Structure 1
């Protein structure tokens, strides 16, 4: 439980930190400069150019975002050929919703892990109870006198018996389904 609280604290600290980009951004992906200039001697211009800015949607185009970056490397004719090959998109996302969805998913996974641990701890108790129905009686007078302690023990035993009965029933159903699907190739109704 301590690890869960630590991980949640760390999650909230990161959730409050600033993201790499804002929720609204302009992203331009352009071809390499060597594909426009037909020069392959310079290794730095053979990779695609990607630039992300915070420009508004009406200024999210190659002329505004990319030409300032590559103006000194291209001549006028190459600039006219460069921009039509660029893909500029204005992206709008809501990181608050994404953050809360991630938190909900982490909570659900945490609850399932705790439930699994509970079942792992409970399973040996149920199997011991089912296998060990025989109890040695040393003093019959203590067993015959009902009291608050024996009532609590019988209630707990009753609950464990019901849980183990349901678990056995479920295991039989799973075995039957497996046999029907893999052996007979039929489905249960």
Structure 2
């Protein structure tokens, strides 16, 4: 229940921030100029942050002569900084949650090794013994490794395929 509540609060907060936050945008002027007039594949790109689209003039961005600017193509672009910040925030949040989960698994593994039982409820097996979640994972991994070894033996030594 607390995890669902926490996720709901995070999504609600993120939605409110995105809805009410002023849209931050950065205007920049990008001028693409050819290095040589004969070769059109080699180009030089000049970028300058501007305040208004009217300021996107080749002479101000390239700092060259008007003859050089005849062959340049300049246009202004608007970058949505808020969107980039939100994407980075979501990525950092997901990575943080994964790291916290990994730390929890390490702590539980240490607890199991120290006290010999899991801190959570365990599931009884057929023979009445208790089996922790970590033991079940280890058993299934061991079973998978045995099956993989059997397949390797069949394919590489006996030259037969399992169906």
What TM-score do the two structures reach when normalised by structure 1?
A: 0.45
- Structure showing greater Rg: 1
- Determine if contact 1:27/1:53 at 8 Å carries over to the other structure: no
Q: Which has the higher strand share?
A: 2
Pairing of 1:27-38 with structure 2 (within 5 A) = 27-30=30-33
1:100 aligns with 86
2:57 to 58, 65, 86: 65
Q: How many residues align?
A: 121
**Cα offsets for 1:131-176 (capped at 9, x unmatched):** xxxxxxxxxxxxxxxxxxxxxx9x9563672413421233225524
What TM-score do the two structures reach when normalised by structure 2?
A: 0.51
1:55 aligns with 52
Structure 1: runs of 5 or more not aligned: 1-20, 37-46, 131-152
Q: Which whole-Å CA distance do the structure 2 matches of 1:98 and 1:157 have between them? A: 43
- Determine if contact 2:26/2:79 at 8 Å carries over to the other structure: yes
Greater relative CO (CA pairs within 8 A, separation 6+):
1
Structure 2: runs of 5 or more not aligned: 1-23, 38-43, 124-129, 157-161
Q: Which whole-Å CA distance do the structure 1 matches of 2:93 and 2:81 have between them? A: 18
Change (3 A) 1:68 1:161: closer
- Determine if contact 1:31/1:49 at 8 Å carries over to the other structure: no
Q: 1:180, CA displacement in angstroms?
A: 6.9
Q: Which whole-Å CA distance do the structure 2 matches of 1:84 and 1:180 have between them? A: 71
